[in-house]
Amino acid sequence: MANVFLHSSLLCVKRVDTHIIILPWILSEEIITQYDGMDHASADRTVSRIHQHYAWYGITAYVKIFVSFCSACQHAKHTRTAHSKYFDLEVGTVMDQVSIDVCGPFATTRDGNSVLLVAVDHFSP
Ligand SMILES: [Zn+2]
Cis? peptide before 24, omega within 30° of 0: no
Give CB contacts under 8 A, 24+ apart, made by 38-46. Answer: 39/76, 40/70, 40/72, 40/73, 40/75, 40/76, 41/76, 42/67, 42/73, 42/77, 43/67, 43/68, 43/73
Separation of CA 18 and ligand 1 centre (Å): 27
Separation of CA 65 and ligand 1 centre (Å): 11
Separation of CA 21 and ligand 1 centre (Å): 23
Separation of CA 68 and ligand 1 centre (Å): 8
Separation of CA 78 and ligand 1 centre (Å): 12
Tell me what the pLDDT averaged over the chain comes to.
86
Provide the percentage of residues in the chain whose pLDDT is more than 70: 90
Residue 1 has pLDDT above 60, yes or no: no
Output the pLDDT for position 81: 59
Report the pLDDT averaged over residues 66-73: 93
Report the pLDDT averaged over residues 54-75: 92
Separation of CA 87 and ligand 1 centre (Å): 25
Residue 22 has pLDDT above 90, yes or no: yes
Q: Nearest-CA neighbor of 61 among 81, 82, 75, 46?
A: 46
Q: Which fold has domain 4-80?
A: Endonuclease III; domain 1 (1.10.340)
